[in-house]
Amino acid sequence: MYKKILLTTDGSLNAEKAGKHALWIANINNAEIVVLYVYELYSSQIGVLPLSIVPGSNERLYEPLKEEGIKFTNEFKEKLETYKEEQGYKNIKITAIIKEGRPYNVILDMIELEDYDLIVMGASGKHGLDRYTLGSVTESIIRDTKKPVFVIP
C-alpha cells in the first residue's frame, strides 16, 4: 500500500518516535523512507527577520545552520539504521535530505513534487510551545495536503 514514505524530523523526541513508526510501516509495506530535515534561515536573536536582509555576507551565517542540519540528519539516519537492524527489518532503503527554508513550505513542496504515499510526522517539534497541542507545522500540513499523514504524539 505504501511504497514511499516522507519522514520529517526536527531533532525532537517526537520525531524519533515518528522514525520508529515509519520503519515499522516501511517494513510491513516493503517501502522506502525519505528523511527530511529543514533548517530555517531565521534567527531568534534578530526576531522574525530573515537573515537574508542582514547587511553583509550572509553565507557565514547560513553555513553553521547547514552544517548543524547535516550533522543532525546523519545522526538521525544512523539511529534509524540501528533501530532497523535491532528489529530485524530488512530491505528498507533510507535516504536523508536536508533543505533550507520555512519547514511548512518545504515539506508541502516535497509532498506535491514527489510521489509520497504517506507522510510521518511528530505531533509537535522541539520548538513546540506546549506538548499537549499539535505543532503548527504538523497542523498546517495535515490541513493542506491531500496525502495521508500519520502523526505521532
Burial (CB < 10 A; 0-12, 13-18, 19+), residue 97, is middle
Domains along the chain?
A: 4-152 (3.40.50.620)
Nearest to 103 by CA among 63, 46, 54, 65: 65
pLDDT of 94 reads 97
User: In tens digits, what is the pLDDT along the chain, a chain of 153 residues?
Assistant: 999 999 999 888 889 999 999 999 999 999 999 999 998 875 444 455 555 555 555 566 678 888 888 998 999 999 999 999 999 999 999 999 999 999 999 999 999 999 899 999 998 655 544 444 456 888 999 999 999 999 998
**Model confidence pLDDT, tens digit, residues 117-133:** 999 999 865 554 444 44
What is the rounded CA–CA span in Å between residue 100 and residue 63? 11
In this structure, how many other beta carbons lie within 10 angstroms of the beta carbon of residue 38? 21
Task: Give the pLDDT score at 66.
Answer: 86
